[in-house]
Chains A and B, each alone.
Chain A
């Protein structure tokens, strides 16, 4: 028990330590940004520090936090729906080849329609509401999750299924004890992608449907040609996505992928 906690702590430590590399990358981006700012001036591209200050200011006047919360909540709602529906349908289709063959062309069509078209349609059907945003997210991200789940089921090690069956596992326990773990390995990366799209689509839908949230704030910044504010909102949205991703999905993924760490030779752990 204590050993398990220590192991988790040490992995958390390693992860935080690897954050320095991420920070270095961000600093490089900021340097390029600064160069762009110095070349084109504040009106086209405000300096990174200016943007950060603006974001800080937005965070500290109360309304911004509400808007961020609203957008995050909408994105999470759409994401949760698409995760549940995508995984359920994907697993079902993975186990049933006929369903899979039927669903592939449908998926191609859905994926081929740009999210913006769905937003327009949803706006016509449901007006500018939270439902429009959720529905657009659902349609835009479910296929990715679905494909991840299908992939997980179809590429699972059938030898392990036979092994479990020999030792007395029926179909249900073969799924929960042996297949689920392999499916999760494919679903989680898909969920990370889907979460990112959820935020993007949520903001886009808000902007177009004029449904408030960060998208609405962006629309206002655009109409007032306030590029500093616009960039600040973008930075805040990215921050929110980062917090959700690393607070929600990455820990689960790290827990599931623990055995892969063991495969890495000593010294190149990171």
Chain B
């Protein structure tokens, strides 16, 4: 049974069509990567699926209990401490203050934050710690579906790897399903069970490739070989780095 299913979604911003005929399904516990060049409409798909944008056409069926999202920027409230930021979804779902503290602390620890960081404000954190806080905030309510919208694009390579490992580990532990958006093929291969390639102009899903094994079990050499195989031998990925978003009609 699928937790999220989009069928023939289309959307236009101010009369300019950006998406057309997007159909996809994501099952329980499945991490699906959505790749495509910048400006192809990936964020728009995530926002439509999560209910932030009303699509112009198409049907959405969500059968998960609770979703969460990690955005490209951490989107932390600057006036609230790390603990308050992580506890924010709990506050919205009216959990009492006492259980909020404990849950926020546990989520922070799972995301690799130190207890000493809980009282800090976002301005006092490094980029990586802010994104860890955003991940902890997303996972604090134990969602069964998580949207990741290019969450690690702004981080350097080493940090990116650590964050990807964090996502892989949490997905395995909490067994949530996820739509993981990225324009980095390497990242897609590392974290997902299945890769969807968005048409470079947003005209439907161009195709999909299922990856062997579980995300945590792949070694670096295999990931790199897979990436080379995709880029050199697979026509589906031929256009992935091609689009110049400034020239989009």
Please give the residue numbers on chain A whose beta carbons come within 8 Å of chain B beta carbons, in ascending order: 157, 159-160, 162-169, 173, 177-178, 181, 256, 258-260, 262-263
Contact = CB atoms under 8 A, between A and B. Distances in A.
Main secondary structure of the interface of A (DSSP, over half): helix
A263 B77 contact: no
B121 A167 contact: no
Interface in B41-83: 47, 50-52, 67-69, 71, 73, 75, 77-80
B239 interface: no
Contacts, number: 55
Given A159-B71, A159-B73, A262-B123, A256 B92 contact: no
Given A164-B88, A259-B122, 8 more contacts: A166-B52, A166-B69, A167-B92, A169-B92, A177-B91, A262-B120, A262-B121, A262-B124
B79 A163 contact: no
Contacts of A157: 75
Nearest to B140: A167
A256 B80 CA distance: 10
B89 interface: yes
A181 B79 contact: yes
Given A181-B77, A259-B79, A168 B89 contact: yes
25 contacts: A159-B71, A159-B73, A162-B47, A162-B52, A163-B69, A163-B71, A163-B75, A165-B51, A165-B52, A166-B147, A167-B89, A167-B92, A168-B89, A168-B92, A169-B92, A177-B92, A178-B77, A181-B79, A256-B79, A259-B78, A259-B79, A259-B121, A259-B123, A262-B121, A263-B123
Contacts of A256: 79
